[in-house]
Chain A
Amino acid sequence: MPNLEAARTELVAALGGDAVLHDPLALRLYARDASMVEGSAGLVVFVRSAEDVVTCMQVAARHDLPVVPRGSGTGLAGGATPLADAIVVVTAKMNRILEVRPDDRLAWVEPGVFNLDLGNALRPTGFTYAPDPSSQQVSSIGGNVNTNAGGPHCLAYGVTSAHVLAVDVVLPDGSIERFGSEAPAAPGYDLRGYVVGSEGTLGIVTAACVRLTPLPPAVRTMLLDFTDVEDCAQTVSAIIARGVVPAALEMMDRGIVRAVEAFAHAGYPTDAAAVLLVEVDGLPAGVDAQTREVEAAAQEHGVGTIRIAADDTERSLLWKGRKSAFGAIARIAPHYHLHDCVVPRKALADVLAGVYAIAQRHDLIVTNVFHAGDGNLHPLFSFDRSVPGTLERVLAASDELVRLCVDAGGSLSGEHGIGLEKRDFMPLVFTAEDLDAQACLRGAFDPDGRMNPRKILPDGARCGDYAAAALGRDGVLPEGTWI
């Protein structure tokens, strides 16, 4: 039987009263992440070391409580939303950069280190940590690892998994293991690869060994504007067809450009139907060659003006516009629902047209800012949830949006994850046999189903002896959950 009170007493005794929160305000705050789902937290524990995490796991096991790891809580899919009075283990205070070793092109960091802080700390060494999710000012490496986070520069450099050499993980049984290696190969199955992107369902990452990427000698950032959204989308494929893989290739439509410009004053053209932010990097001569190809591709598709950032200041300003987009849209309406799905690049124009049609059908404001080079869409519905019936319309539109992307040959999520928000869509892209296999392999790490139960896999995904004990009532979220 779950025994929250006994768990609290033991955790306070082991970690100190300051490390364990259970007052109503804290429980309410930690009952959700940046998604629309609210759950219920039983206890909130701030860990400072792997040993603290081990203690949490042992106490949770003793008192039959689920465990939900949490970084900065910026997740958009409900991955860090606790259900059923779980113990929320917050890694935010484990925020040291442990080692930087340029000769080995690696650094060891604790999970609470902010993505941007790591990049800034590495800069003097001539290296960087390549994944740069738009939340990078506040999202932590631990959260990035667990969602296999992306970002604008993943087009050329790859997503988080390509930049994580090893992770130290506390497993649900309280053991501490290192998956992966500082060396380019490690013995055994690639458990590192299975943990990255597992949304806190296999264990808790207490340190990550990340790959350092050399800072490119030259970078050029361009802003291209178009009077037609389709021309803009087709330019994306045209650039790739010319054998150029830009470091970043971001698209923004008129609605988001106007919101961003009013906020960032970056000189974005507010009369354009859509803009492309293109960045190429490499050696200076290669950057010149790539720039010529990008310009030629854009001119074939009716580009208006091509603005090339003259210096670092202008470059930063253009990126500020892109990266502050989700803050800027607060000017449109008080609430937003940000989507994340991936489609084949050639389907971008059609899917975008479909996105606008869905918004119109449900009388919603939609803006688009996304990783066009990856085919990774981020339609963003803006609304005021206090207006009766609005939330229902948002959810209906979201449902149609997911199906639109899947029908176009796409996938449910490119970088935000499945969490709670999309788990019931999983049967759209996987068979029951696929999902059962995933459940079995999850059970290999967590036989008792203690870690972040009910996330990623829909209820019903089972695996004989490995069936997760915590998965219960069919298809119904537990009491205390609301959307």
Chain B
Amino acid sequence: MDLIHPHSKREVVDALRTASASETRVLIIGGRRHIDKGNSSEVDAELWTTVLDDRVAYDPAEMLCVVEAGMRIHDLTAMLAEGGQEWPVDAPRDATVGGVIASGVATIRQLRVGTMRDTIVEMEVVTGDGRLVKSGARTVKNVTGYDVHRLLTGSLGTLGVIVQVALKVRPLPKVTRTSVSDDGGLELGRRVLDAVPLPAAVLAEPERIVVRLEGWPEEVEEQTTAARSIAAFEETDAPFPEACFPEAMIVAEAAVAPSRLEALLAGVGRYRAVVGVGIAWVPFEDEEALTAFRARAAELGGIAPVIRGPGGLGDAAIPAPGVQRRIRAAMDPAGILAPGRAWST
């Protein structure tokens, strides 16, 4: 396996031009934290983005930061904390910004902070054949031209190397509080969601409910009181979010319309579900059980890609396969970027 370790955008451009010309298949690597998401792909080389980690611009008054995509989440978090702000994305500390974006990480707190895809306002990407392409703008709002960065978000490294992004950031909440109940289940989770105004997240597990609250001190008090009117909640200082089934062989990340979580998880022994959002993480010991679970997710109009372990994305049909193929061809004409890793067309 060859290793490409570019030190500049120019070197990424040169490397991919060469790779396209020589039909060298390339897997783009950031922090290697989301590497299991996607179908297996045979490649000849790895391209590491981790040296491309400079801070390009950060002015807290603009609520925007511009960083190279190899920057680690913990470095970004520390940089933004100095300005009293955060990139509201729930991702592992040692993941890279580019990896989080390319793998389409689901934001657990999205009821309060929105989705990751809506925080990306500008992107520079190097296409498979080595063109440096920019889209978006460094303003919080913009409708100038086509949002190429939307296609790159969640593209699993099959459309180009994300080398730089401008991110919309937000003020750190004045207070955060995580509370845990002594009882669990989706039905209880839903009642908590209905009772607590504007929570950041309500997580349901079979044995407990975790409520994440963020805001002004008085708000969080009011929300806590509301949660306690439904179940016995105790504050915890455990990190949020906690690691998801760290010992499991396989973890799938299902996505269904929020009201279909009950049907999806009926009879499932272990799960963590984001109530009101429709995301559920479920551990599996073998691929057979995963296959049955996926079939149920599909019946409910959803998907269940694996985020850890073997199993890939599953065989859900994608819309307009011809359009998707042409998009891939437009961005990576030689087809060298992780062939087969994204959804099958």
A-to-B contact residues, CB < 8 Å: 101, 103-106, 147-148, 150, 154, 158-159, 161-162, 171, 175, 177-179, 181-191, 193-194, 196-198, 214, 216-217, 237, 240-241, 243-245, 282-286, 288-290, 342-346, 371, 374-376, 409-418, 422, 426, 429-431, 433-435, 437-438, 440-445, 447, 456-457, 463, 466
B-to-A contact residues, CB < 8 Å: 59-63, 84, 104, 106, 110, 114-115, 117-118, 127, 131-135, 137-148, 150-151, 153-155, 159, 170-172, 174, 197-198, 215-219, 221-223, 253, 255-259, 276-279, 301-303, 305, 313-314, 316-320, 323-324, 326-327, 329-331, 342-343, 345
User: Is A184 a contact partner of B110 (Cβ separation < 8 A)?
Assistant: yes
A193-B151, A241-B60, A243-B84 known; A147-B143 Cβ under 8 A: yes
**A155 CB, nearest partner CB in chain B, Å:** 8
**A213 CB, nearest partner CB in chain B, Å:** 10
In the assembled complex, 27 residue pairs joining A and B whose CB atoms fall closer than 8 Å, in A order, are A101-B257, A158-B114, A161-B118, A184-B110, A184-B279, A188-B324, A188-B343, A190-B151, A193-B153, A286-B215, A342-B139, A342-B140, A345-B61, A345-B63, A376-B139, A376-B141, A412-B144, A415-B141, A433-B131, A434-B145, A437-B148, A437-B331, A438-B146, A441-B151, A443-B330, A444-B326, A466-B326
**B203 CB, nearest partner CB in chain A, Å:** 14
- List the B side residues contacting A216 at CB < 8 Å: 198
**B332 CB, nearest partner CB in chain A, Å:** 11
User: Is A189 a contact partner of B154 (Cβ separation < 8 A)?
Assistant: yes
For the complex, give the distance between the alpha carbons of A466 and B345 in Å. 20
Q: Could you list 11 further interchain pairs (A-B, Cβ under 8 angstroms) beyond the known A185-B255, A345-B63, A376-B141?
A: A162-B118, A184-B279, A189-B155, A193-B153, A198-B146, A216-B198, A243-B172, A244-B171, A284-B222, A417-B143, A444-B327
User: Is B138 a contact partner of A344 (Cβ separation < 8 A)?
Assistant: yes
- List the A side residues contacting B301 at CB < 8 Å: 181-183
**B287 CB, nearest partner CB in chain A, Å:** 19
Closest to A242 in B: B171
**A460 CB, nearest partner CB in chain B, Å:** 14
- List the B side residues contacting A186 at CB < 8 Å: 255, 303
For the complex, give the distance between the alpha carbons of A240 and B61 in Å. 6
User: Is A184 a contact partner of B319 (Cβ separation < 8 A)?
Assistant: no
Closest to B303 in A: A187
- List the A side residues contacting B253 at CB < 8 Å: 185
- List the A side residues contacting B302 at CB < 8 Å: 181, 183
User: Is A171 a contact partner of B323 (Cβ separation < 8 A)?
Assistant: yes
- List the B side residues contacting A182 at CB < 8 Å: 257, 301
Closest to A285 in B: B218
For the complex, give the distance between the alpha carbons of A431 and B138 in Å. 16
A374-B141, A437-B127, A441-B151 known; A283-B106 Cβ under 8 A: no
- List the A side residues contacting B148 at CB < 8 Å: 437-438, 441
Closest to A175 in B: B320
User: Is A286 a contact partner of B153 (Cβ separation < 8 A)?
Assistant: no
Closest to B107 in A: A184
User: Is B142 a contact partner of A187 (Cβ separation < 8 A)?
Assistant: no
Other-chain contact of A286, B219, B277, B278, B324 (Cβ < 8 Å): B219
For the complex, give the distance between the alpha carbons of A71 and B84 in Å. 42
Closest to A411 in B: B137
For the complex, give the distance between the alpha carbons of A414 and B146 in Å. 13
User: Which 6 interchain pairs have the tightest Cβ spacing?
Assistant: A285-B218, A193-B150, A188-B318, A444-B326, A411-B137, A243-B171
- List the A side residues contacting B327 at CB < 8 Å: 189, 441, 444
User: Is A185 a contact partner of B259 (Cβ separation < 8 A)?
Assistant: no
- List the A side residues contacting B132 at CB < 8 Å: 433
Scoring A237, A344, A456 by chain B CB atoms within 10 A of each residue's CB, the highest score goes to A344
**B243 CB, nearest partner CB in chain A, Å:** 21
**A120 CB, nearest partner CB in chain B, Å:** 22
User: Is B171 a contact partner of A411 (Cβ separation < 8 A)?
Assistant: no
For the complex, give the distance between the alpha carbons of A243 and B279 in Å. 30
A182-B257, A214-B198, A285-B216 known; A375-B141 Cβ under 8 A: yes
**B322 CB, nearest partner CB in chain A, Å:** 8
User: Is B115 a contact partner of A103 (Cβ separation < 8 A)?
Assistant: no
- List the B side residues contacting A343 at CB < 8 Å: 139
User: Is A162 a contact partner of B114 (Cβ separation < 8 A)?
Assistant: yes
**B48 CB, nearest partner CB in chain A, Å:** 24
Other-chain contact of B133, A183, A196, A245, A437 (Cβ < 8 Å): A437
User: Is A189 a contact partner of B137 (Cβ separation < 8 A)?
Assistant: no
User: Is A194 a contact partner of B150 (Cβ separation < 8 A)?
Assistant: yes
User: Is A191 a contact partner of B61 (Cβ separation < 8 A)?
Assistant: no
User: Is A430 a contact partner of B145 (Cβ separation < 8 A)?
Assistant: yes
- List the B side residues contacting A437 at CB < 8 Å: 127, 131, 133, 135, 148, 330-331
- List the B side residues contacting A342 at CB < 8 Å: 137, 139-142
For the complex, give the distance between the alpha carbons of A371 and B141 in Å. 10
For the complex, give the distance between the alpha carbons of A410 and B255 in Å. 37
Other-chain contact of B219, A283, A415, A418, A422 (Cβ < 8 Å): A283
User: Is A190 a contact partner of B218 (Cβ separation < 8 A)?
Assistant: no
- List the A side residues contacting B115 at CB < 8 Å: 162, 184
For the complex, give the distance between the alpha carbons of A445 and B313 in Å. 24
**B161 CB, nearest partner CB in chain A, Å:** 14
**B104 CB, nearest partner CB in chain A, Å:** 7
- List the B side residues contacting A183 at CB < 8 Å: 255-257, 278, 301-303
Other-chain contact of A418, B145, B258, B329 (Cβ < 8 Å): B145
- List the A side residues contacting B331 at CB < 8 Å: 437, 440-441
- List the B side residues contacting A344 at CB < 8 Å: 59, 62, 138-139
- List the B side residues contacting A412 at CB < 8 Å: 144
Other-chain contact of B140, A375, A418, A426 (Cβ < 8 Å): A375
Closest to A77 in B: B143
**B326 CB, nearest partner CB in chain A, Å:** 4
Other-chain contact of A214, B146, B147, B197, B316 (Cβ < 8 Å): B197
Other-chain contact of A103, B117, B146, B258 (Cβ < 8 Å): B258
For the complex, give the distance between the alpha carbons of A187 and B106 in Å. 14
For the complex, give the distance between the alpha carbons of A181 and B327 in Å. 20
User: Is B147 a contact partner of A197 (Cβ separation < 8 A)?
Assistant: yes
User: Is B141 a contact partner of A286 (Cβ separation < 8 A)?
Assistant: no
**A198 CB, nearest partner CB in chain B, Å:** 6
For the complex, give the distance between the alpha carbons of A106 and B259 in Å. 11
User: Is B218 a contact partner of A288 (Cβ separation < 8 A)?
Assistant: yes
For the complex, give the distance between the alpha carbons of A438 and B331 in Å. 10
Closest to B150 in A: A193
For the complex, give the distance between the alpha carbons of A217 and B215 in Å. 14
A175-B320, A190-B117 known; A416-B219 Cβ under 8 A: no
Other-chain contact of B135, A184, A375, A434 (Cβ < 8 Å): A434
User: Is B142 a contact partner of A413 (Cβ separation < 8 A)?
Assistant: yes
Scoring A147, A175, A286, A409 by chain B CB atoms within 10 A of each residue's CB, the highest score goes to A286
User: Is B131 a contact partner of A411 (Cβ separation < 8 A)?
Assistant: no
For the complex, give the distance between the alpha carbons of A182 and B174 in Å. 33
Other-chain contact of A441, B134, B146, B255 (Cβ < 8 Å): B146
- List the A side residues contacting B60 at CB < 8 Å: 241
For the complex, give the distance between the alpha carbons of A342 and B110 in Å. 26
A189-B324, A342-B139 known; A431-B198 Cβ under 8 A: no
- List the B side residues contacting A283 at CB < 8 Å: 197-198, 215-216, 218-219, 222-223
Other-chain contact of A243, B59, B154, B174 (Cβ < 8 Å): B174
Closest to B333 in A: A464
For the complex, give the distance between the alpha carbons of A457 and B258 in Å. 39
User: Is B320 a contact partner of A104 (Cβ separation < 8 A)?
Assistant: no
**B30 CB, nearest partner CB in chain A, Å:** 19
